[in-house]
Amino acid sequence: MPPHGSCFHEPVSFMDYNFSEIEQRWRTWWKEHAIYKTTHDQSRPKQYVLDMFPYPSGAGLHVGHPLGYIASDIYARYKRMKGYNVLHPMGFDAFGLPAEQYALETGQHPAVTTAQNIARYKQQLDNIGFSYDWDREVITSDPNYYKWTQWIFIRLFHAWFDRNSQRARPIAELIAAFDKNGNAGIPIPGEEDTVFNREQWKQCSTAEQREILMKYRLAYLDWAEVWWCEALGTVLANDEVINGVSERGGHPCVRKKMRQWMLRITEYAERLLAGLEGLDWSEAMKDMQRNWIGKSYGAEVRFDLRDHDGHIKVFTTRPDTLFGVDFMVLAPEHEMVGRITTKMQQQEVAEYKRYTQRRSERERISETKTVTGAFTGAYAVHPFTHKAIPIYISEYVLAGYGTGAIMAVPSGDERDHAFAKHFDIKITNVFGARYDGTVAYSDKEGTIEGSDFLSGLPVPKAIEVAIRALEDGGIGTRRVNYKLRDAGFSRQRYWGEPFPITYQNDIPYTNDEPELANTHSALPLTLPHVDSYRPGPEGQGPLANIEDWVHTPQGTRETNTMPGYAGSSWYFFRYMDPHNEQEFASRKATDYWQQVDVYVGGTEHAVGHLLYARMWTKTLADLGYVAFDEPFKKLVNQGMIQGSSRFAYLNREQKKFSSFSDQLKANQPGALEAIRVSVDLVDGLVLDVEAFRKWRPDYADFRFEPAADGKFYCSAEVEKMSKSKYNVVNPDDIVAKYGADTFRMYEMFLGPIELSKPWDTQGIEGVHRFLKKLWRLYLNEAGDWLPTDVPATEDMLRSLHRTIKKLGEDIERFGFNTCVSALMICVNELSVSGCRNEGILESLVRILAPLAPHLSEDLWHRFGHEGSVTMADWPAWEAAFLTESSKTYPVAVNGKPRTEMSFSLDENEGNIREAVLANETIAKWLEGREPKKFIYVKGKMINVVV
């Protein structure tokens, strides 16, 4: 019979710490009493504690996943006890490639496998005793959720970024401005030179007008590169392409342009950069975002072509080196390449372009050893010296960065230098003696030389003078450049949000626009059923295969789907108001819960998810839907828990495995083969040989040569935890064996939350012993309740209050490993002193509650409380119990500690000096010398310098 309430006074025969019975009982009780239900409560301050929601993979959770969840759960529970109304939800980032891949292989619908995976994840999470309010669960692939993802996309489509006010505004306001003044003062992003007046605007056809508007929209269509695999007839993700061939099948892949949806995140570059200042994120994380945004100051310079009309624009951060330009390099994809390449060079250029098409961007920018490129045969004209400048193409210039073209200054840039040497281009020195002809001088120290009007000027001054000369001559302009690029928002896949877009004559309309006669307006636009998950024609997604879905009387539907980050860019709003059918979240809800106070997740999201979520929040704020424009106030990054793999050593010729030792490897190098052993078959390093033989029947008749003690040892190596390495540890197994409370505390005890560290199943015993020891403070073997009203000693009180203070401080700063140590020390002390004082022991239960909620709940109820310990108050520590009157000082001579001496804390320095110098040990080290200096730091140490 399941227990109810706190009425469990029925006799229990087994009075040891019976974690499985305790944990099951209280999990049921929490559920029945909806302990973790969160409501809108104005009377308490709010606290929003959020985990990055997981992608529910088919492999289930391993012990590494819950690390951050445990930390945030402890924090959330602590904040509840401190009187906050805590929002601590969980959900699933459920769209994604793996489910689709699985569907391709097995034919099972991604919705089905995803639902199964989510069910498994939830069960695993519940096993660990998290305080999530599951009523607020968010699943990105649920139509009731992605309805609002689509709704936000429509807002992005109908919005543009006003550079003057630095915020997004409805597109209707842009149209109004065009009707009045054309695009005067509102340049087209990326095409700032294109200007039209009101008449020109009005003369445009609707199609032309919409084409112009597309260049402003925050969600827009453009041509962008993807990996295209001809043999598979599909677009591939970066990590599906390895060295230019597909991961599956090894078919050649090339970069190909496709028409895609993009997000104009570049318009937010400045705000995304500035917004970082006020955030409580690690400096490392902010640096990564700053670096990604990549703001740089410089100039855009126009180089006219010698034998053609037109010009090439370059962006440079070093306009001061303009006189050192010896050649130019265009990205192979640069639009100008086809036009300017001479007949002589056409074949070479075409071949080189084919080569770069197979190269990933990463390969192109990382390649430093071999220089590649091709000469176009064309020349530009230097704007000041008018000398002819040869134009090359090379992979190290990327089309997407700056203008896709550079002016090359070999004396001042390492890559340009290598390029010049390789192609035997004469190098002009603009750094005088600082360039020695062998290594480019790229420092910004010193003066510029041999550069006409710039000669003799120090670099910063030269940059200014050069920019002014460029602007005066109408040759260039001062410019700020960002490395940040607009984000691709199309995927040629099935398992993602469909776009609420319909094309009429190739013009995209959002489904709520009047042109579609309101026939498509209802959201969500649900994913239609497909019979096959194979790609559609010409690289389109599987949706393109469903003729009668694509073709509607009003037009043809968009067949791309949204990328994985669409749903995760705003889910933190939905938790605030998860069942709202009118809005993505009400203003009342978002105004109450505001920003996420603490966001916990891995660094791998540093620049992807965290940047997109910030942009979406800014857009929603600009359009008036929420009141704040930064989603995550504080960010905590958890490290990874790595696997500890095991290897057995095999001499295949002799059909013999040898127990591992340091000598073994040294004695037989080359002859030994390391064979992976599942961690399930190993106790520490000792292999269960019989189990291994069963696991790998192909080795069943091999010999196993044990060590001298008769055991067979494996070697260990720290690696990523993954199935293929046989080092995955499932939290379910750990919880079954030791209980969730032990598991939670052990994960925290392992080390600082932000560091990566290997999992070691053996170490968990220590934490488990600690909980058993704690249990014995409350109940003896006979099951008698031990706490009574006996008085507490001063030592006990000091021990308790020191621990209360430390726990509070450590939880606030996410230092959970030291929390566990502090509790261990406290329990050790209370055990030694035989503490039975119920006041102390009850406080101990409270401070244990965030870390070990099941055990604490059980003891809490044994104290006679009816409510949950979750709602108990966090005890206050009292300074009176912590003050010490004296200190045992380390006394050092010349910085080396030689002895210890105790002094009262209010002893004056003169007396201390006298006593120290009189001390026998110190006198011995002084050897009669007069101390040069006497250093006394109150409460810390004493140092005598001779």
Does 258 contact RNA by CB under 7 A? yes
Instruction: Report yes or no: 74 and 748 within 8 Å, Cβ to Cβ.
Output: yes
Closest CA to 337 of 375, 387, 307, 389: 375
For residue 439, give the 3-state DSSP assignment.
coil
Among residues 62, 491, 557, 861, the one that binds RNA under rule CB under 7 A: 491
Does 394 contact RNA by CB under 7 A? no
Does 110 contact RNA by CB under 7 A? no
Does 62 contact RNA by CB under 7 A? no
Cα end-to-end span (Å), the chain:
77
Q: What are phi and psi of 292, to 5 degrees?
A: -65, -40
Closest CA to 136 of 214, 204, 240, 48: 48
Closest approach, Cβ 618 to RNA, in A, equals 16
Burial class (CB in 10 A: 0-12, 13-18, 19+), 697: exposed
CA distance 852 to 750: 16
Does 935 contact RNA by CB under 7 A? yes
Q: Which residues of 486-495 are buried (b: 16+ CB within 10 A; e: fewer)?
A: bbbbbbbbbb
Which residue, 321 or 492, is less far from RNA as judged by CB?
492
Which residue, 520 or 806, is less far from RNA as judged by CB?
806
Instruction: Report yes or no: 591 and 627 within 8 Å, Cβ to Cβ.
Output: yes
Give the angle 353-356-362 at the CA atoms, nearest 5°. 155
Residues binding RNA: what is the number (CB under 7 A)?
Answer: 98
Binding segment toward RNA, per CB under 7 A, in 34-42, 88-96, 373-381, 460-468: 88-96
Closest CA to 323 of 410, 425, 416, 451: 451
Near RNA in 25-54, by CB under 7 A: 54
For residue 8, give the 3-state DSSP assignment.
coil
Near RNA in 777-816, by CB under 7 A: 806, 809-810, 813, 815
Among residues 426, 529, 579, 933, the one that binds RNA under rule CB under 7 A: 933
Instruction: Report yes or no: 342 and 484 within 8 Å, Cβ to Cβ.
Output: no
Closest approach, Cβ 448 to RNA, in A, equals 24
Closest approach, Cβ 115 to RNA, in A, equals 16
Among residues 15, 195, 288, 675, the one that binds RNA under rule CB under 7 A: 288
Does 820 contact RNA by CB under 7 A? yes
Binding segment toward RNA, per CB under 7 A, in 121-129, 188-196, 583-591, 760-768: 760-768
Does 723 contact RNA by CB under 7 A? no
CA distance 274 to 142: 35
DSSP string, 815-860: -HHHHHHHHHHHHHHHHHTT--BHHHHHHHHHHHTTTSHHHHHHHH
Strand partners, 155: none
Near RNA in 829-868, by CB under 7 A: 832
CA distance 603 to 871: 33
CA distances from residue 808 to 79, 234, 243, 847, 941 in whole angstroms, order as listed: 10, 54, 51, 9, 28
Among residues 460, 473, 897, 910, the one that binds RNA under rule CB under 7 A: 897
Which residue, 362 or 426, is less far from RNA as judged by CB?
362
Instruction: Report yes or no: 241 and 225 within 8 Å, Cβ to Cβ.
Output: no
Instruction: Report yes or no: 687 and 647 within 8 Å, Cβ to Cβ.
Output: no
Does 751 contact RNA by CB under 7 A? yes
Closest CA to 574 of 616, 541, 544: 616
Which residue, 138 or 380, is less far from RNA as judged by CB?
138
Compose the 402-441 pattern: x for residues touching RNA by CB under 7 A, - for all others: ----------------------------------------
Does 60 contact RNA by CB under 7 A? no
For residue 887, give the 3-state DSSP assignment.
strand
Binding segment toward RNA, per CB under 7 A, in 203-211, 591-599, 817-825, 908-916: 817-825
Does 563 contact RNA by CB under 7 A? yes
Binding segment toward RNA, per CB under 7 A, in 236-244, 442-450, 573-581, 782-790: 236-244
Which residue, 330 or 771, is less far from RNA as judged by CB?
771
Which residue, 758 or 875, is less far from RNA as judged by CB?
758
Q: What are phi and psi of 760, to 5 degrees?
A: -135, 105
CA distance 758 to 727: 11
Among residues 208, 673, 705, 900, the one that binds RNA under rule CB under 7 A: 900
* 534-540, Cβ contacts within 8 angstroms, sequence gap of 24 or more: 534/104, 535/232, 535/233, 535/234, 535/235, 535/492, 536/492, 539/226, 539/228, 539/233, 539/234, 539/235, 539/256, 539/258, 539/492, 540/492
Near RNA in 668-687, by CB under 7 A: 684
Does 894 contact RNA by CB under 7 A? yes
Instruction: Report yes or no: 97 and 104 within 8 Å, Cβ to Cβ.
Output: no
Closest approach, Cβ 677 to RNA, in A, equals 18
Closest approach, Cβ 589 to RNA, in A, equals 25
Closest approach, Cβ 35 to RNA, in A, equals 29
Instruction: Report yes or no: 706 and 638 within 8 Å, Cβ to Cβ.
Output: no
Binding segment toward RNA, per CB under 7 A, in 28-36, 291-299, 436-444, 795-803: 291-299
Does 817 contact RNA by CB under 7 A? yes
Does 536 contact RNA by CB under 7 A? no
Compose the 610-649 pattern: x for residues touching RNA by CB under 7 A, - for all others: ------------------------------x---------
Closest approach, Cβ 725 to RNA, in A, equals 12
Pairing of strands 476-482, 295-305: antiparallel
Near RNA in 512-531, by CB under 7 A: none
CA distance 503 to 577: 33
Near RNA in 172-231, by CB under 7 A: 224, 226-227
E strand map for 264-400 = 295-305, 311-316, 327-330, 374-381, 388-393
Near RNA in 324-383, by CB under 7 A: 361-362, 365-366, 368
Binding segment toward RNA, per CB under 7 A, in 324-332, 603-611, 647-655, 837-845: 603-611
- What is the DSSP-derived secondary structure letter of residue 785? B
**Sign of the CA dihedral running 101, 102, 103, 106:** positive
Among residues 483, 693, 725, 737, the one that binds RNA under rule CB under 7 A: 483
Does 765 contact RNA by CB under 7 A? yes
CA distance 836 to 785: 10
Closest approach, Cβ 761 to RNA, in A, equals 9
Among residues 446, 763, 834, 867, the one that binds RNA under rule CB under 7 A: 763
Among residues 28, 296, 828, 904, the one that binds RNA under rule CB under 7 A: 828
Does 106 contact RNA by CB under 7 A? no
Which residue, 183 or 394, is less far from RNA as judged by CB?
394
Closest approach, Cβ 364 to RNA, in A, equals 10
Closest approach, Cβ 333 to RNA, in A, equals 15
Which residue, 82 or 256, is less far from RNA as judged by CB?
256
Does 123 contact RNA by CB under 7 A? no
Near RNA in 680-719, by CB under 7 A: 684
Closest CA to 856 of 766, 774, 769, 783: 774
Closest CA to 402 of 494, 328, 500: 328
Does 251 contact RNA by CB under 7 A? no
Which residue, 116 or 552, is less far from RNA as judged by CB?
116
Which residue, 545 or 868, is less far from RNA as judged by CB?
545
